[in-house]
Amino acid sequence: MADFNSMQEAVIGGNLPEATRLTQEALDEGTAPSAIVNDGLIPGMLVVGEKFKNNEFYVPEVLIAARAMKGAMALVKPFLKEGDMPALATVAIGTVQGDLHDIGKNLVAMMLEGAGFKVMDLGVDVSPEKFIEAVSDGASVVALSALLTTTMPNIGRTIEALKEAGLKDGVKVIIGGAPVTQAYCDEIGADGYSPDAGSCVDMLKALIA
C-alpha cells in the first residue's frame, strides 16, 4: 500500500531522495500513477503553498519542495496515460515586455504546477504577441507579472492586445508583482490579482470554478 502521507511529508520537507524513493516504491507496487500525483505529491505541494502564504515558509523552502516534487513527477510522468491527469487549466505565464525579473513569476509557476495546473512558462520580456500565440495554442489562463512601475503599463497593453485579437472573453487574465494592486487590476479589466505566489493558487481555483 502506497504511503501517501510520507510522500506528502517528503515534498513538504524538500526531501528529494525520500520523495523519489517512495514514488518508485508506489509504482513498483502497482499504485495508479494518477493516485500518486493526486494523493501524494499535489497535497504536499498545496501545504507548501499554504505555509508560504502564512510566512511559515520562505523562498528557499519552496524551491527545495518544488525540486522534490519535480523529481518524483519525473518518475511518474512516463506512466501517465492521456486523460489520466486532466489539468485544472492551462496557464501561460510570463513577465511582461521590458521586464527581466523572474523570481516571483517562477514561484507562481511552481505553485500552479504543484497544484495540478498545466503551465506554459513564456519566460521574461514577453511581448503581447507571444501571449496571444499561447492562447491560440490552448492556454485558457494568462498570468502576467511585472516588478517595475515602468513596465506595469505593459500588463494593460497585453490585455488590450488580447481584446483586439478577440481572445479576451475566452481567457482569464491574472496579474501580480510588487507594484501591482487590486485597484490596478480593476482599472485595466484583469480577472484576478494575487499579492503573493501562495495566494495565487486559491485565487485562480476560485476564478475557474
Residue type for position 42: I
CA 198 to chain centre: 10
How confident is the model at residue 124, as a pLDDT?
A: 97
How confident is the model at residue 86, as a pLDDT?
A: 80
The three cell numbers of residue 201 are 493558487
Q: What is the pLDDT of residues 181-205, one digit of tens each?
A: 999 999 999 999 999 888 899 999 9
State how far the Cα of 14 lies from the Cα of 33, in Å rounded to an integer. 21
Q: What is the pLDDT of residues 149-175, one digit of tens each?
A: 999 999 999 999 999 999 999 999 999
Q: What is the pLDDT of residues 67-115, one digit of tens each?
A: 999 999 999 989 887 677 788 999 999 999 999 999 889 999 999 998 8
Q: How many CB atoms lie within 10 A of CB 60?
A: 9
Residue range 204-209: mean pLDDT, rounded: 94
Query: Which domains occur in the chain, in start order?
Result: 4-79 (1.10.1240.10), 90-208 (3.40.50.280)
